[in-house]
Structure formats: C-alpha cells, structure tokens
Amino acid sequence: MLAAAFGLHGGDGLHRRQAVQADAEDERRWVAERVAQRPVCERYGVKIFPCALRHPFA
C-alpha cells in the first residue's frame, strides 16, 4: 500500500523472487550437507547412495 502511494511498482515481485532464490539456495545447501554425510566405500572411496540396491562396482 505504501509502495502504491509513492508510485513504486514491482516491489512485491522482487520480494517474491528473492524469497524463491533464498529457498532454492537453502535446498541446495541441505542437499550438499546430506551428500557430505553419506558413507564412503572403503574399497573404492566413493559415496554410497541409499538408492543403490547393490554396490555399484561389484
């Protein structure tokens, strides 16, 4: 309402875009932390993914 009074348009859109970008960055950070916590194969030194039903190099 104050923005409209001063003729400032697009502030809401900018705020929404910044919020979406911040959410995306939080998601990327969360994924990176999860990957860093995954166990490492002692034989091959690669991260073990939980979706692997068997060892990928067996």
Residue 14 confidence (pLDDT) = 83
At 21-41, the pLDDT tens digits run: 999 999 999 988 888 888 888
> How sure is the predictor about 18, in pLDDT bands with cuts at 50, 70 and 90?
very high
Q: Which amino acid is at 42?
A: E
Average pLDDT rounded to a whole number, residues 43-57 = 69
CB 55, CB 41: distance < 8 Å: yes
**The token pair that represents 51 in the structure block:** 């979706």
Residue 37 confidence (pLDDT) = 86
CB 48, CB 40: distance < 8 Å: yes
Alpha helices in 1-58, H assignment, sequence order: 2-5, 11-37
